[in-house]
Amino acid sequence: MNHEMFRYLPWPFEGDTFPPALGAAIMRTVLEGARPALQVLHEPEGGWAISDGEADPNAPGALIATHIWHVVSADPSLAQLAAMPPGTQADRLTRDDPWEFRAFSWDE
C-alpha cells in the first residue's frame, strides 16, 4: 500500500470516491472513535476537514493530518461526501441523521 498523502488532489474524484492518497485535517475525537463525524468541510482551496462539530478544532492537539480513508472506513456514510464540491460544508446532528449542505467561505 502506498502511504503517500496529499492535501490537495484534483476534484471531482473519479467515481465520486475519495482517492486513497487524499489527506484531511481530522479531529482526534473522530479519528479515535470517541465522537462521530458531524461536520465535514471541503475548503474552497480543495482541502478537507472533518470535525465532531462540538469540540474546538483549534485547541492544541485537536487535529491530526491523516488519510481520509481512516474515517471513511469507520463511518461509511462519509463516502457520499466525496462528490461535495469545494466551498461546501456538510453538517448533521447525529451519526444517523442525513447530511445538510451549505456554502462555506473563510470569511465567515
3-state secondary structure of 102: strand
The pLDDT-based confidence of 3 (bands split at 50, 70, 90) is: confident
Predicted pLDDT of residue 47: 95
| Cell numbers given for 61 | 492537539
Pick from 26, 22, 19: nearest CA to 7: 22
Domain coordinates in residue numbering, the chain: 14-103
Sole residue written with cell 474546538: 56
Q: Report pTM.
A: 0.91
Residue 99 has pLDDT above 80, yes or no: yes
Residue 1 has pLDDT above 60, yes or no: no
